[in-house]
Structure 1
Amino acid sequence: MARTEYYDDPSAPEPNSLVVAASAVVTDDAGRILLQRRSDNGLWALPGGGMDMTDSLPGAAVREVKEETGLDVEITGLVGTYTDPRHVIAYSDGEVRRQFNVCFRARVVGGALAVSDESTEVRFVPPDELGALPMHHTQRLRLGHFLEGRERPYLG
C-alpha cells in the first residue's frame, strides 16, 4: 500500500482517522541510530507504527521495532510527543490519517537485524550521515530532538 505524507500543505486531503502510534530512536554502542527505508514511500524513518488494542504505548514501540527490524529493544526514555495537526498521512486504500505519535528512546537487548515487508533496508546510521538520507520533515524533527540531548521531552 502506498503512503504520501503531507505537512502544512493546503492540498492535503482531510483526515478521516486519528491513530495513536509509537516510534523509537534505537541506538547501538557506537551511538548510531537505527533507521529503516520504508517500502511504501522509499523514505528513511524511525521504526514505529500504530498501537494495537492489546498494547501499552511503550509496548507498541517494542513490538513495532521487532516487527520492522528484527531487533528486541528495551525502552529507556522519552524523546517526545508529536501531535501536529498539519501532519497528514494518506494511504492508497483511502485512509487519511492524523497521527498522534509518542517517540521513545531505546536500546538493543537481542534479536538480529532484518528487513520486513515494511522496509527495503534496515541499518544503524551515524548521526553525521542523517542529513544525506531522504526523510520526511517529521522524522528529522524527532531525530533532532533526540540529538539535542534534551533534559525534558518535546511536547508538541
Structure 2
Amino acid sequence: MTLTTIIPSMRRVIPDPIVARHWPARTAARLDDVVIAAVSLHRLAQVCGTPCVHTAAAIVPGTGGHASQDETVSVVVTRVTRIDDRAGVRLLQLDADLTNVDVLPMDARLIARISTAHSTPTLLGARGLSTVLPADLVVGDLLAIPCTDVATLHDLRSNDGEPYGRCGR
C-alpha cells in the first residue's frame, strides 16, 4: 500500500507510484500525467484524440530499468464514455474495446487531472477488467493503461466494433 493510497490528498504533491516493470523504459509518473521517453501521454491524446497508442522500448527484466534493444511494449490512452454503478459494482465504458489488446488493468491510471478521492474497485469495458481507480472519475476522464506487448491502434475497436485505423479516427 502506498502513501497516496492511504492519504489520497498527497496526490497533489507526489504522483501515484508506478510498477516500473509494467511500463515502457524511461517512464516517469507525474502528478497528472505519465511521460514515456519525453512523450506526455496527456499531450498525445490532445494531438491524436482517443483512443491512442504509444509504443516504446520494454524494460529488460532484472536490469533495474534498462531499455531493451529489441523488445517493445505499448500504452493505450482511452477516454471514459460512461459510468454505471450497479449493486456496488462500478463499470466504466471506454471509447475503445480492449478485447484484442493484452492490457495490465491493475496499472491503469488517471491522467490529465489530479484526483484526491479514495480509490475504489472498478471494472473496465466489455471485458470487465478489474482495476482500482479514484472514486470521482467522470465521463471524459483519460486513462493510461500499459500493455504486456505491442498494441496498435488497429487492435482497438470502437464500441460499434469498427477498428480504428489511424491517429484520431
Q: Which has the higher contact order (CA 8 A, sep 6+)?
A: 1
What is the TM-score normalised by the length of structure 1? Answer: 0.29
What is the TM-score normalised by the length of structure 2? Answer: 0.27
Please state which structure has a larger fraction of its residues in strand: 1
